[in-house]
Amino acid sequence: MNEKLKEKLAQATDALNQKHFSVAISLLGEATAEEPENAALWRQLGHSYLEAGKPDDALEALTRSLRLNPGDATAHCLLGNAYGSTCDLEKAAACYRRALEIEPQHVRAEELLIKTESLLESRAHYRAGLKLLYSASPTAPDLNQALRELLQSIVIFESSPARDNLLECARKLEALRSEWNVPVAMTPELDPWAEACRRGYESALLEKWSEAREAYHQAQSLRPGDAFVHHALGFASAEAGEIDAAVRAWLRTLELDRSYDFTQFGRV
């Protein structure tokens, strides 16, 4: 690389560090035109496109870079970022794996691979949940499993789009509702708990979801080991628009009873 190109690359790097992406792209575009066989220039151009939010252009530049220097671990990592920006997570993960094959101690590639594999796992649970939720005639077991899949997707990736499907899943489960009497030997100490459950149940029937949520929250605090109360709290919370609270409640239900039937709504 001649001195003129070296200076242009230094200017482009400085512009990139200062987030002047259009300047960096312009300088590197000129540099690659002058020296099209320089893999480092194409890699830096791809990096600049990525920072500018232009993943398609980044893909082209980084592919050119790797065609010239296939052993560049950082270029593979950047290519993974470009694929990730286009939501092609499988190809992104493959790029990070390739970077680690070349450079096993590439910390950034390792971090991104772990994150991407988690996103892929979360997406698999999300898609499994949607398939069950929107099947032609979902059965109670289908919907029970759908809720479990959606919850698992959120556990793995907190911002999973599965959050948007929880309420519909809960409503479909509620449509198949089977009521049962909670088998508890009543004592004076349990009277406040039973009263809270009664208020929660009656509020839910009247679709007064905030009141139902408050009542079941009280019942849960009085008797935290009852799976059905956590489920009812989850359902009321979801209807009240408190999705985070619903997720916590349903996960607690499953901690207490892995085989819990979410179509069951207890009556004390």
12 lies in the same domain as 95:
yes
144 lies in the same domain as 94:
no
**Is the alpha carbon torsion for 210, 235, 226, 185 positive or negative?**
positive
pLDDT digits (tens, 9 = 90+) for 131-152: 999 999 999 999 999 999 999 9
> Average model confidence (pLDDT) for the chain?
93
Residue 108 neighbours by CB under 8 Å, 6+ apart: 77
Per the structure, the complete domain to which residue 56 belongs is given by 3-105
Q: Rounded to an integer, what distance in angstroms lies between the CA atom of residue 244 and that of residue 202? A: 23
- Among the candidates 105, 133, 152, a domain finishes at 105
What are the strands, taking DSSP E only, across 137-243? 178-181
Do 43 and 51 contact (CB within 8 A), yes or no?
no
Bridge partners, 266 (sequence order) = 180
Bridge partners, 181 (sequence order) = 267
Q: Is residue 111 part of a domain?
A: no
pLDDT digits (tens, 9 = 90+) for 176-228: 887 655 556 566 777 899 899 999 999 998 999 999 999 999 999 999 998 99
Q: Is residue 218 part of a domain?
A: yes
Tally of structural domains, the chain: 3
The domain that contains 265 carries what CATH number? 1.25.40.10
46 lies in the same domain as 18:
yes
172 lies in the same domain as 187:
no
Do 180 and 267 contact (CB within 8 A), yes or no?
yes
- Output the pTM of the full model: 0.85
Residues of the chain with pLDDT under 50: none
Q: Is residue 147 part of a domain?
A: yes
126 lies in the same domain as 82:
no
pLDDT score for 179? 66
